[in-house]
Chains A and B, each alone.
Chain A
Amino acid sequence: MTPVKINTGRLRTPFYPRLAELDCLNTWHNWAGYSSPEALYCEDMEYFAIRNSTGVFDITPMTKYRITGPDALDYLNRLVTRDMRKIKPGRVAYAIWCDDQGQVIDDGTIFHLREGEYRLCSQERHFAWLTTAAIGFDVSIKEETVEIAALAVQGPTSYSVLKNMAIDGLDALKPFGLMHHQIFDTELMISRTGFTGDLGYELWIDPDKAIDLWDALFEAGKLHGIKAIGTHALDLARKEAGYLAPFEDFLPAETTVRTGRTRSPLEIGMEWLVDFNKDNFNGRRALLKEKAEGSNWRLVKLDIEGNKTADHSFIYSQEKNNSEEIGFITSATWSPICKQNIALGTVRTPYGKPGDNVWVEVYYQREMHWNRVMAKATVVDKPFWFPPRRGATPPAPF
C-alpha cells in the first residue's frame, strides 16, 4: 500500500485564499489545527468594523457535530443542562454540558436545523464524550467540522449586507433563529447568532461553495463597510458582550488536572441555563447539591475605575486594611465602545454580588517602568455592551 501521509502542519480553511489576499500582517495562530488570523491589517480597525459596519470572521475551525435519530432530543436533554424541549426547529440554543461532578466540560451552541436534526458547535473537541453519553439512545453523532464552512458576519450593517444577497425571510429572523436559503445550487444556513453581542449572523455552507459565498458576501457588503477580521478584534468584542472564553474564563473539565480548578455552571453565571425541572441530565445530582449547599466561586463582570487594564490581576475584598485576596481577573480590556475599563473574573463566594465593590491590583508598564495601582471595581450584572439593534426584528439598515 502507498504510505499514508497526514498533514502534520496547520490546516487551511476553504476561505484561506481570500483571507490570505487581505492579510497584511502575517500573524496566524492555531485554532483546533487550523491557521486562524490574529489580525489581518489592523486589529483596532477590525474591531470597529464589528461595532460600526460589518466584520467577517472565519469560524470554520469551530468543532461541529451532527446529531440525528429518533432519540436526538432525549439525548441532548440528557447531555446539556438546559431544557432542549423548548428549542423548536429553526431555533438555536446556547448550552453547557457537565461531567458527573457537575463541572463544565464546555459550552457551545445547538442548532435545531429541522425536526429532530441538530448541530452542536463548540470550541473544544468532544467526540469521545458525546459518543459515551449516547449509550442507550438511538442517536447518530457525526463530526462534520470539515464538511461545513462557516463565517460570522457581525455588526450594525450586517443585515443590510445580507439583504443585498436577496435572502427571503431575513427580516423576520429573530435572535437565536435560523433559516435555510438556496444559493449556488446548495443550501446556505443562516443563523442570527454570534460572539460579539451585536447585530449579526453566522453563515454555514458546503466548503466547495465557500469562495462563492465569500465573494457574494463581500460584493453585497462593499457599500456597507464590510471588512474581514481576526481573532483579536473578536476577542475584544466578546469581552464587551460578557461572553466567556474556554481556557480563559473557565477550564474545560476534561483538560483540567488540578482538583478545584474547574467550575460548575452555577459558578460561571450560567444558572439560567440549568433547568432542574426537566428529567435527568448529566451533573444534575451534583448541581442540586451545590445549589442547596452554596457554590464556592462566582463569575463577576467588573467595571473598574480608571483606565489601567487589569490583565491577570488579583481581586481583593478591600483596598488595604484587613484585605483578603478573593479571586482574580480572567479577561480584561479597555472597552472602546463603552469607554469603560472592564473585566471578567472569578471570586470566592460570598464576595462579588451585583453592586458590590471589590479592589483590583493592577500592574501596568509605562516606558519600561512598572507601576501598581489598587483600583476600585463595581460588580455589574448586565453585559457591558447590549445595544437595542442586537434584538431589533426586523433590524435597522445600520
Chain B
Amino acid sequence: MKKYDAIVIGAGHNGLANAAFLAKAGLNVVCLEKNDYIGGAAVSRELYKDWKYSNCSYVCSLLRPEIYRDLELHKHGLQVTPYGGSVQFMENGDYFASYHDPEAAHREIARHSKHDADAYTRYSTDTMRQCRLIRDFLLRTAPDPTSFKPKDIKELILLGNKFLELGEDRLYETLRFWTMSVADYLDEYFEKDVVKTAFSGSGIIGTALGIHSPGTAYVLLHHYMGDVDGNVGTWGFARGGMGAVSDSLAGAVQAYGGEVRSEAGVDQIIVKHNRVKGVALENGEEIYAPVVVSNMDVKRTFLNCMDEKDLPENFYKRVKNFKIRGSSGKLNIALDGMPTFPALPKGSELIGNADMHFIDSMERMELAYDDWKDGTWSKDPYIDCTIPSAVDPTMTPPGKHFMSCFVQYCPAQIEGRAWTSEERDGFTKSVIDQISNYSPDFKDLILHVETRTPQDIEDQIGITEGNIFHGELTMDQLLFNRPVPGYAQYRAPVNGLYMCGSSTHPGGGVMAAPGANAAREILYDLKLKNTVPENFGDD
C-alpha cells in the first residue's frame, strides 16, 4: 500500500500535464497508465519494425505554448515543425490545393474561382476573430454563471467584456457562428463547391455531425485556433511522432519529482463518505491519496470506475447522456516508398508536405455522414491523410514512409452491434480504394496497415467510443456546460475527485489546457501556490 498526495488516472497528454503542474507545486504525484506504454492518444508506436506510428492523434498545433514553455518541454525532447498546405483531389482529374504562402494560396483559389480567392480575406478575418475570442479562454476555467463567488464574477465580467468588445454587429455574428452549420457558414463567403469542401472538413473532424448539422461552424475553431510559433492556424508535426508530446510531458513530471507508472489500470475509484480515498487497480493493488484526478473521459470515469450510489442522481444521468459518439477511425500505413499522385504536377511541393483529401463535393461530404447515420462506415469517406515521414526524418528508414489516415465517418458499432472482422476489412478497403483512385501505385507500396475503428480505440486507449474530443464540441457541451452544467470547474461531485481530460473545458485536441486548468483548480482548493502559467494573451 502506497500513499501519495495525488493520483492522476491516465497518462495521456492531459493527465501528464496535470501531474506535471501538481508535482511542480511540490505534491507527491503518481500518474497511472493502464497500457504498457504511456501517451494515451498522443503516442509513437513501433507497430512495424523501424517505423514510428502516430497511430492516434497525428498533428500538433493546439498544444498551448504557455505550457510548452513553462514545463520546458524542449528540454524533454519536444520539437514541433510546421508543415504547409493541403490538397483536395477531384473526381474530374484536377485538384484544389492550399499553400503556406498566401500569394500561392490566393493564386490557386483564383484558378478555381476569382471570387473565392478574394472572399478568402474576409473568411479568414472573420474566422480569426472567433479564434481570438476563444483563445483567451483556453487557459482559464470556465466561469460558473450561477455563482456569486468573486472568482466566478471576475471571470464572468471578463467573458462579458470580451463579447462587448466585439461591438454590436459582431456580437450577432458570433452568436450565429456558434450555432450554425459549417456548410451555411461557408456559403456566406464562397461559391465554388470544391473550395467549400476543402474548408468544411475542419468543421466535422472528430464530430458525429455532418457539414449541414448546426454547431459545426464552431468546430472549425478547434482546427484553426492553434498555432506554431504564433502563426495561428498553422499545423505542425511533433518530431518523432505525437509520442514526443507525451514523452516530454512525462519527462517534466519526473523532473519535478512525480512518478509515471504504466501497466497500472484503474478498476475503481475508492470513495468513502463522499470523499475520494484512492484507487483500486485491476491487479487488486490499492493506492491512496486525498486527491484523485481522472484524465479518462467522463463516461468512463463515472459510469465504469465509480459506484452510481456515490454520485448525485442528476449528475449521473447527465453523464450518461453526455454525447461522446464514435465517428472516426484510423488507418496507419507503412509504405515502401512515396506514392505517386498523377493529378499533381511532377515534383510538386504538395507531395508529402500537405494534408491530402480525396473528396471534392459538399454532397459527398454529407453522403459520407448519411452512412454513419445508417449505422455503418462511409463507403466514400472523408480522409485526412498526412505523410509525416516526408518532413520528419525520424519516423521511418530513409525513403520509406508512414501514412496516417484519419477517416470519417466510422461508427462505434455496426447497426447497434459489434463489428465483424469482414466489416473491419470492408472499412479498410473503402479507405485504401479511395486513395488508390488517385494513386495507382499506392496499394503496391503498402507494407503494413493498422486499422482502428472507434471500438478498437476504446478497447486499446479507453476513450468511450473512440471519440477523439472526449465528447462532442457542441454549444450544449461547451464552456460552463462542459462536461455537465454545474461541474465545469474540474471538480467532480465527490470531495477530492477532479476531472482533467478533454471532456472538460476547453475540450479536445492535443492542447493540454484541460490538464493544466484542472491543476490550477486543485492547487486552489489545496491552498497551494498556483504553478500553471497564465495565457500569453493577445490584445
Which residues of B sit under 8 angstroms from A5, Cβ to Cβ? 345, 348
Which residues of B sit under 8 angstroms from A3, Cβ to Cβ? 95, 342-346, 348
Which residues of B sit under 8 angstroms from A7, Cβ to Cβ? 104, 107
Let me know if B114 and A143 touch, CB within 8 A. Answer: yes
A125 to B118, CA, bound (A): 6
Which residues of B sit under 8 angstroms from A8, Cβ to Cβ? 99, 101, 104, 107-108, 349
Contacts of B276-320 to chain A: CB distance below 8 A: none
Let me know if A257 and B125 touch, CB within 8 A. Answer: yes
A256 to B95, CA, bound (A): 31
Contacts of A110-168 to chain B: CB distance below 8 A: 124-129, 131, 143
Let me know if A128 and B119 touch, CB within 8 A. Answer: yes
A198 to B345, CA, bound (A): 48
Which of these, A100, A128, A259, contacts B115 with CB under 8 Å?
A128
Which of these, A33, A127, A255, contacts B114 with CB under 8 Å?
A127
Nearest residue, chain A, Cβ from B107: A6
Which residues of A sit under 8 angstroms from B106, Cβ to Cβ? 33, 125
Which residues of A sit under 8 angstroms from B348, Cβ to Cβ? 3, 5
Most chain B Cβ neighbours within 10 Å, of A8, A9, A100:
A8
Total interface residues on A, using CB and 8 Å? 29
Let me know if A255 and B121 touch, CB within 8 A. Answer: yes
Q: Does B170 contact A (CB under 8 A)?
A: yes
Most chain A Cβ neighbours within 10 Å, of B116, B118, B132, B165:
B118
Q: Does A254 contact B (CB under 8 A)?
A: yes
Which residues of B sit under 8 angstroms from A257, Cβ to Cβ? 125, 128-129, 132
Let me know if A4 and B118 touch, CB within 8 A. Answer: no
Most chain B Cβ neighbours within 10 Å, of A3, A128, A129, A258:
A128
- Asked whether A255 and B169 contact (CB < 8 A) given A5-B345, A5-B348, A129-B118, the answer is no
A4 to B129, CA, bound (A): 34
A259 to B161, CA, bound (A): 13
A109 to B377, CA, bound (A): 56
Contacts of A1-36 to chain B: CB distance below 8 A: 1, 3-10, 30, 32-33
Q: Does B424 contact A (CB under 8 A)?
A: no
A10 to B101, CA, bound (A): 10
Q: Does A393 contact B (CB under 8 A)?
A: no
Q: Does A260 contact B (CB under 8 A)?
A: yes
Let me know if A259 and B125 touch, CB within 8 A. Answer: no
Q: Does B494 contact A (CB under 8 A)?
A: no
Which residues of A sit under 8 angstroms from B108, Cβ to Cβ? 6, 8
Most chain A Cβ neighbours within 10 Å, of B92, B111, B115:
B115
- Asked whether A254 and B115 contact (CB < 8 A) given A4-B345, A33-B107, A259-B166, the answer is no
Let me know if B118 and A127 touch, CB within 8 A. Answer: yes
Contacts of A245-269 to chain B: CB distance below 8 A: 254-260
Q: Does B422 contact A (CB under 8 A)?
A: no
A7 to B111, CA, bound (A): 11
Contacts of B491-522 to chain A: CB distance below 8 A: none
Q: Does B443 contact A (CB under 8 A)?
A: no
A261 to B271, CA, bound (A): 54
Which residues of A sit under 8 angstroms from B345, Cβ to Cβ? 3-5
Q: Does B117 contact A (CB under 8 A)?
A: yes
A3 to B438, CA, bound (A): 12
Q: Binary interface profile of B, 388-417, with partner A (CB < 8 Å = 1, else 0)?
A: 000000000000000000000000000000
Which of these, A30, A128, A259, contacts B118 with CB under 8 Å?
A128
Q: Does B103 contact A (CB under 8 A)?
A: yes
Nearest residue, chain B, Cβ from A259: B167
Q: Does A101 contact B (CB under 8 A)?
A: yes
Q: Does B154 contact A (CB under 8 A)?
A: no
B195 → A minimal CB distance (Å): 12
Q: Does B122 contact A (CB under 8 A)?
A: yes
Q: Does B46 contact A (CB under 8 A)?
A: no
Let me know if A1 and B115 touch, CB within 8 A. Answer: no
A29 → B minimal CB distance (Å): 12
A257 to B101, CA, bound (A): 20
Q: Does B230 contact A (CB under 8 A)?
A: no
Nearest residue, chain A, Cβ from B104: A8
Contacts of A52-103 to chain B: CB distance below 8 A: 100-101
Q: Does B94 contact A (CB under 8 A)?
A: yes
Which residues of B sit under 8 angstroms from A256, Cβ to Cβ? 125
- Asked whether A33 and B103 contact (CB < 8 A) given A4-B94, A129-B118, A143-B114, the answer is yes
Q: Does B160 contact A (CB under 8 A)?
A: no
A257 to B128, CA, bound (A): 7
A305 → B minimal CB distance (Å): 32
B346 → A minimal CB distance (Å): 8
Q: Does B150 contact A (CB under 8 A)?
A: no
Which residues of A sit under 8 angstroms from B537, Cβ to Cβ? none
Contacts of B112-139 to chain A: CB distance below 8 A: 114-119, 121-122, 125, 128-129, 132
Let me know if A6 and B111 touch, CB within 8 A. Answer: yes
A258 → B minimal CB distance (Å): 8
Contacts of A339-398 to chain B: CB distance below 8 A: none
Let me know if B117 and A1 touch, CB within 8 A. Answer: no
A125 to B119, CA, bound (A): 9
Which residues of A sit under 8 angstroms from B122, Cβ to Cβ? 128-129, 254
A127 to B189, CA, bound (A): 12
Q: Binary interface profile of B, 78-97, with partner A (CB < 8 Å = 1, else 0)?
A: 00000000000000111100
Which residues of B sit under 8 angstroms from A6, Cβ to Cβ? 104, 107-108, 111
A129 → B minimal CB distance (Å): 7
Which residues of B sit under 8 angstroms from A127, Cβ to Cβ? 114-115, 117-118
A127 to B169, CA, bound (A): 23
A286 → B minimal CB distance (Å): 10
A306 → B minimal CB distance (Å): 32
A131 → B minimal CB distance (Å): 6
A165 → B minimal CB distance (Å): 34
Which of these, B94, B101, B166, contacts A1 with CB under 8 Å?
B94
Which residues of A sit under 8 angstroms from B342, Cβ to Cβ? 3
Which residues of B sit under 8 angstroms from A33, Cβ to Cβ? 103, 106-107
- Asked whether A125 and B167 contact (CB < 8 A) given A1-B93, A6-B108, the answer is no
Which residues of B sit under 8 angstroms from A260, Cβ to Cβ? 165, 167
A9 to B102, CA, bound (A): 10
Which residues of B sit under 8 angstroms from A10, Cβ to Cβ? 103
Which residues of A sit under 8 angstroms from B118, Cβ to Cβ? 125-129
Q: Binary interface profile of B, 205-243, with partner A (CB < 8 Å = 1, else 0)?
A: 000000000000000000000000000000000000000
A319 to B99, CA, bound (A): 49
A1 to B90, CA, bound (A): 12
Which residues of B sit under 8 angstroms from A30, Cβ to Cβ? 103
A128 to B132, CA, bound (A): 24
A33 to B166, CA, bound (A): 32
A4 to B169, CA, bound (A): 41
- Asked whether A101 and B125 contact (CB < 8 A) given A4-B94, A8-B349, A127-B114, the answer is no
Q: Binary interface profile of B, 165-199, with partner A (CB < 8 Å = 1, else 0)?
A: 11101100000000000000000010000000000
A187 → B minimal CB distance (Å): 25
A100 → B minimal CB distance (Å): 8
Which of these, B104, B125, B344, B346, contacts A254 with CB under 8 Å?
B125
A317 to B128, CA, bound (A): 34
Query: What 6 A-B pairs are tightest by C-beta distance, nearest first?
Result: A128-B119, A5-B345, A8-B104, A33-B103, A128-B118, A127-B118
A1-B93, A125-B121 given; name 6 further pairs at CB < 8 Å.
Answer: A9-B104, A128-B189, A254-B121, A254-B122, A258-B129, A259-B165
Chain A interfacial positions (CB closer than 8 Å to B):
1, 3-10, 30, 32-33, 100-101, 124-129, 131, 143, 254-260
Chain B interfacial positions (CB closer than 8 Å to A):
92-95, 99, 101, 103-104, 106-108, 111, 114-119, 121-122, 125, 128-129, 132, 165-167, 169-170, 189, 342-346, 348-349
20 pairs, CB–CB < 8 Å, chain A vs chain B: A3-B95, A3-B346, A4-B111, A5-B345, A5-B348, A6-B108, A8-B99, A9-B104, A30-B103, A124-B121, A126-B118, A128-B115, A128-B116, A128-B189, A129-B122, A255-B125, A257-B125, A257-B129, A257-B132, A260-B167
